[in-house]
Amino acid sequence: MKDLKPAILLFLVFTFICGGIYPAVVTGIAQSLFPRQANGSLLVDRNNRETGSSLIGQPFSAPQYFWPRPSATGGFGYNPAASGGSNSGPTNPAYLQTVADRVQRLRDSGLTGEIPADLVQASASGLDPHLTLESARVQIPRVAKARGMSEDEVVRLVAGQTEGRQFGLLGEPRVNVLELNLRLDASKPE
Amino acid sequence: MNFADVVQVLACLGLVILLVKPVGAFMALVYQGERTFLSPFLAPGEKFLYRICGVQPEEEMDWQRYGWAMLLFNLMLFVALFAILLLQHLLPLNPQNQPPFSWQLALNTAISFTTNTNWQNYGGEQTASYFTQMVGLTVHNFVSAATGMAVLIALIRGFARRKTAMLGNFWVDLTRGVLYILLPLALIAAILLVSQGVIQNFSDYKTTPLVQATNYDQPKLNAQGAPLKDAAGKATTETVAVLAVTIPMGPVASQEAIKELGTNGGGFFNANSAHPFENPTPFSHFLEILLILLIPAALTYTFGVMVGNPRQGWALLGVMLLLLVVAFTVLQWAETSGNPLVAKLGVSGGNMEGKEVRFGMAGSSLFEVATTATSCGAVAAMHDSLTPLGGLVPLALILLGEVVFGGVGSGLYTMLAFAIIAVFVSGLMIGRTPEYLGKKIEVREMWMAIVVILTAGVTVLILSGIAMVTPAAVASMANPGAHGLSEVLYAMASMANNNGSAFAGLNGNVNFYNLLGGLAMFLGRYVPALAVLALAGGLAEKKYVPPSLGTLPTDKAPFALWLTLVILIVGALTFFPALALGPIVEQLVMVG
């Protein structure tokens, strides 16, 4: 049993190093070099009130806002306290009915033509803050009409909130829905 | 696949290949006890640590003692984590006042993180305190990974040494793995992740207002918590307005880095690496893929150096890369082809259910093959919502036995067991003496290699069979029909092979999966690990047989292809019937 002593002591030492010192050092460096990111990339309004995170999507359903992707988080859509996807299988009849209902809702809002998949299929986290450029584009007429803006104005706002591939290479071009809707509100209050 | 997809995937894999030699050579120095550029900073601390812990670093162990030390240490890990989970409510750093885990869930979770599986029957942000995540789970992420690497190094020494029973010192291998390899890499990775937006703080969860309020229907409950029914017997609901939401916080980056690097895969949040706070940008996404593949890939070079012929390592890496690229291509094709049942509704584009826009199709596919080819099990897209053939890919990668890169250490030792089988079978076929790396392959080696390879497979099939006839296990399925079978098969495969990803619709937090899953993870980790050590002990005692005309060269392409075929044939023979009833049937249903 002479290996029992190292088993216990090494475990305690590693707990101290990997569970104490290491996270503390990372926190220290993170908070001094990247305080905004380390604390959740929070957005603040004019009164310095925290209004959400640029990384966490929010639910929008009113016609004057761009709608985000569907969300399957616990309780209600875009609930950051219970992240997760639908975990629906591709042939599940209940799931296909849900997608059909979402398509119908978009049709009722005046959308014609093919609907981009990300606009009717829920994200993995349920908090996806982004839309594809196509999904933003098809919503422009509705938003412009609801706000009494010209489509050109809305197109310009969307373009201003569009992110390209990172370093011109990685990921997909995308639009941050929350930031876009905040821009809309700022440029043309209800 | 478009041009941008091809470029980003090649860039990522190319970077992994470029890093194999420097990182692999560094790890060889570390495990051989030689000086590295980190020695001036770490060696004094390392010596001090041995002194206070009662470790004699020069003392060598035979395979029994090495295995015993490994088991004792893992027992400590299990007991400590089990206790932390049950006592979470009494421990510090619990700003959300999370209650303790149930004993069944705590048992499953403690085994899961001790065995480097990181299967999670809980959602992090709703269940675990910061203390649990940091002092419990993060520590296990480091040391369970270092345990797997130590067992691999003992096996490599078995091949490299001659006429000795000694395989090295488990405590030294464990300590050096953590101090010199995992900690420095994790520290760099964690800072890079924070720069992208991964959070790292100890704040309370934040409550922030919604720009547009939302509402939802909540079932009405009576005083006893049972649903209230109306006159027609239907459950009644009330509409609840939501004006503000709660955003979870925590020390995420420090855990995220080691979660990928140690092929652990247990997420801080329920959505794992799909959560924007775990994986906020395309750069963080590809960095995480790189971290997942880095050590398992580089260990092939470490192996080559330590057995005196780096080409032996490159041959194994070639097999892994070939299988990875094939798997990626199938998954990417299946997902971009989309779901015809959804397309019928007037929807265009690939299957986006359970995927994030920022990673794109190719990024999602690459992450999912990397995480299941290795035994990581983190997810950035939901496997349950992949198309049937797409979902077959991660399942198949797990069922092949976690040899395509595999877990840190465990992947390569399982691959070496396959190499022994391949050498033996080809020896039978062409009448050459079965030898691998100058060691004769005899009865004991074959027995141990078979135990290493078949333990997980046998466990998967038996437990999936039991699940199918257990009503409580069937009731956990989230999707009907063939897809439900895939969910159960995936769960058992993932736990027995210590992967930890899931077809996550399955409700695993029931006694059946908590307890039998715990058993699967335990068997899948320690039976092969002990067999590997027994194999190593036997090999070390053999004398070296110099290569002759009758020796099959194992560092060349023909052997690599043969090894690939052996892996595929063993996998197909074991699992084809089950796969035919699950994903393959569902694919046929979907395309009509």
Q: What size, in residues, is chain A? A: 190
Nearest to A11 among B73, B201, B589 (CB): B73
Q: Taking CB atoms and an 8 Å limit, are A81 and B352 in contact across chains?
A: no
Contact residues for B226 (Cβ-Cβ < 8 A; gap 6+)? none
Here the tokens at position B292 are 């997942």
What does the pLDDT look like over A131-187, one tens digit per residue?
999 999 999 999 999 999 999 999 999 999 999 999 988 999 999 999 999 999 988
Q: Is B207 exposed, middle or buried (0-12, 13-18, 19+ CB in 10 A)?
A: exposed
Q: What is the pLDDT of residue B509?
A: 92
Residue A93: C-alpha distances to residues A15, B338, B384 (Å)? 48, 17, 15
A186 touches chain B (CB under 8 A): no
Q: Taking CB atoms and an 8 Å limit, are B138 and A172 in contact across chains?
A: no
CA gap B66, B530 in Å, rounded: 9
Nearest to B212 among A40, A56, A60 (CB): A60
Q: Taking CB atoms and an 8 Å limit, are B210 and A27 in contact across chains?
A: no
Coil/strand/helix, residue B440:
strand
Q: HSE, CB side, 13 Å, CA atoms: give it for residue A67.
A: 24
CA gap B231, B168 in Å, rounded: 74
Coil/strand/helix, residue A148:
coil
Chain A residues with CB under 8 Å of B590 CB are 90-91
Q: What size, in residues, is chain B? A: 592
CA gap B416, B532 in Å, rounded: 9
Chain A residues with CB under 8 Å of B255 CB are 23
pLDDT at A67 over 90: yes
CA gap B399, B414 in Å, rounded: 12
Rounded to two decimals, the pTM is 0.96
Coil/strand/helix, residue B297:
helix
Min Cα distance B488 → chain A (Å) is: 13
Residue ranges per domain, chain A?
4-36, 42-187
pLDDT at A49 over 90: no
Chain B residues with CB under 8 Å of A130 CB are 356-358
Q: For residues A83 and B220, is the Cβ–Cβ distance under 8 A? A: no
Here the tokens at position B45 are 């601390």
Q: Taking CB atoms and an 8 Å limit, are A93 and B480 in contact across chains?
A: yes
Q: Taking CB atoms and an 8 Å limit, are A53 and B480 in contact across chains?
A: no
A48 touches chain B (CB under 8 A): no
- Give ipTM to 2 decimals: 0.96
A63 touches chain B (CB under 8 A): no
CA gap B237, A111 in Å, rounded: 31
Q: Taking CB atoms and an 8 Å limit, are B363 and A170 in contact across chains?
A: yes
Q: Taking CB atoms and an 8 Å limit, are A90 and B254 in contact across chains?
A: no
Residue B215: C-alpha distances to residues A52, A101, A185, B236, B248 (Å)? 18, 18, 21, 16, 20
Chain A residues with CB under 8 Å of B142 CB are 14, 18
CA gap B323, B318 in Å, rounded: 9
Q: Taking CB atoms and an 8 Å limit, are A124 and B381 in contact across chains?
A: yes
CA gap B437, B378 in Å, rounded: 35
The three state secondary structure string of B318-349 is HHHHHHHHHHHHHHHHHHHHCCHHHHCCCEEC
- How many beta carbons lie within 10 A of that of residue A36, not counting itself? 10
E strand or H helix at A174, and its extent?
Answer: strand A174-176
Chain B residues with CB under 8 Å of A96 CB are 341-342, 345
Chain A residues with CB under 8 Å of B380 CB are 124
Pairs of CB atoms within 8 A across A/B:
382
Q: For residues B98 and B127, is the Cβ–Cβ distance under 8 A? A: yes
Here the tokens at position B419 are 């190499």
Here the tokens at position B436 are 């691998």
Compute φ and ψ for B483, nearest 5 degrees. -65, -35
Q: Taking CB atoms and an 8 Å limit, are A87 and B384 in contact across chains?
A: yes
Q: Exposure pattern of A157-186 as b/e (b: 16+ CB <10 Å)?
A: bbeebebebbeeebbbbbbbbbbbbbebee
Chain B residues with CB under 8 Å of A4 CB are 72
Here the tokens at position B69 are 């030390």
Q: For residues A116 and A138, is the Cβ–Cβ distance under 8 A? A: yes
Tell me how many degrees the CA angle A20-A23-A24 measures, rounded to the nearest 5: 75
CA gap B273, B256 in Å, rounded: 8
Here the tokens at position B287 are 């960095």
pLDDT at A115 over 60: yes
Compute φ and ψ for B243, nearest 5 degrees. -100, -25
Min Cα distance A127 → chain B (Å) is: 7
Residue B309's identity, in one-letter code, is: N
CA gap B437, B418 in Å, rounded: 14
Q: What is the pLDDT of residue B1?
A: 65
CA gap A132, A147 in Å, rounded: 22
* Helices of type H across B133-269: 139-160, 170-176, 183-196, 252-261
Residue B353: C-alpha distances to residues B117, B384, B503 (Å)? 26, 10, 13
Which residues between 136 and 155 in chain A have a beta carbon less than 8 angstroms from any beta carbon of chain B?
A: none
CA gap B302, B314 in Å, rounded: 10
Residue B39: C-alpha distances to residues B42, B145, B188, B516 (Å)? 5, 21, 18, 44
Chain B residues with CB under 8 Å of A84 CB are 123, 270-271, 504
| Of B386, B370, B119, B166, the residue nearest B266 (C-alpha) | B119
Question: Pairing state of beta strands A174-176 and B206-219?
Answer: unpaired
* Helices of type H across B177-281: 183-196, 252-261
Nearest to B72 among A7, A129, A174 (CB): A7
Q: HSE, CB side, 13 Å, CA atoms: give it for residue B75.
A: 11
Q: Nearest chain B Cα to A14, which residue?
A: B139
B354 sits in the region (left: phi over 0; alpha: psi -120 to 50; else beta) called left
Residue B187: C-alpha distances to residues B32, B72, B183, B299, B431 (Å)? 23, 28, 6, 20, 51
Min Cα distance A146 → chain B (Å) is: 15
Chain A residues with CB under 8 Å of B274 CB are 83, 85, 123-125
Q: Taking CB atoms and an 8 Å limit, are A99 and B347 in contact across chains?
A: yes
Over its C-alpha atoms, chain A yields an Rg (Å, rounded) of: 22
Give the residue carrying structure tokens 């206070």.
B52
Question: Pairing state of beta strands A130-131 and A174-176?
Answer: antiparallel
Which residues between 77 and 96 in chain A have a beta carbon less than 8 angstroms from any beta carbon of chain B?
A: 77-93, 95-96
Chain B residues with CB under 8 Å of A165 CB are 4, 282
Sequential pLDDT tens for chain B (592 residues): 688 899 999 999 999 999 999 999 999 999 999 999 999 999 999 999 999 999 999 999 999 999 999 999 999 999 999 999 999 999 999 998 999 999 999 999 999 999 999 999 999 889 999 999 999 999 999 999 999 999 999 999 999 999 999 999 999 999 999 999 999 999 999 999 999 999 999 999 999 999 999 988 887 777 777 777 777 777 788 888 999 999 999 999 999 999 999 999 999 999 999 999 999 999 999 999 999 999 999 999 999 999 999 999 999 999 999 999 999 999 999 999 999 999 999 999 999 999 999 999 999 999 999 999 999 999 999 999 999 999 999 999 999 999 999 999 999 999 999 999 999 999 888 887 799 999 999 999 999 999 999 999 999 999 999 999 999 999 999 998 899 999 999 999 999 999 999 998 999 999 999 999 999 999 999 999 999 999 999 999 999 999 888 788 999 999 999 999 999 999 999 899 899 999 999 999 998 7
pLDDT at A190 over 70: no
- Long-range own/partner contacts, residues B468-471 (CB < 8 A, 24 or more apart): B470/B512
Q: Nearest chain B Cα to A180, which residue?
A: B211
Coil/strand/helix, residue B190:
helix
> What's the sign of the alpha-carbon dihedral A109, A114, A116, A120?
positive
Chain B residues with CB under 8 Å of A8 CB are 76
Here the tokens at position B41 are 């900073």
CA gap B97, B204 in Å, rounded: 10
Contact residues for B60 (Cβ-Cβ < 8 A; gap 6+)? B166, B167, B168, B169
Chain B residues with CB under 8 Å of A181 CB are 211-212
A51 touches chain B (CB under 8 A): yes
Q: What is the pLDDT of residue B342?
A: 96
Give the residue carrying structure tokens 């002593």.
A5
Nearest to B277 among A18, A40, A121 (CB): A40
Q: Taking CB atoms and an 8 Å limit, are A42 and B206 in contact across chains?
A: yes
CA gap B308, B302 in Å, rounded: 10
Write the DSSP assignment of A12-31 as a string of letters.
Answer: HHHHHIIIIIHHHHHHHHHH
Nearest to B276 among A42, A58, A129 (CB): A129
CA gap B415, B319 in Å, rounded: 10
Chain A residues with CB under 8 Å of B504 CB are 84-85, 87
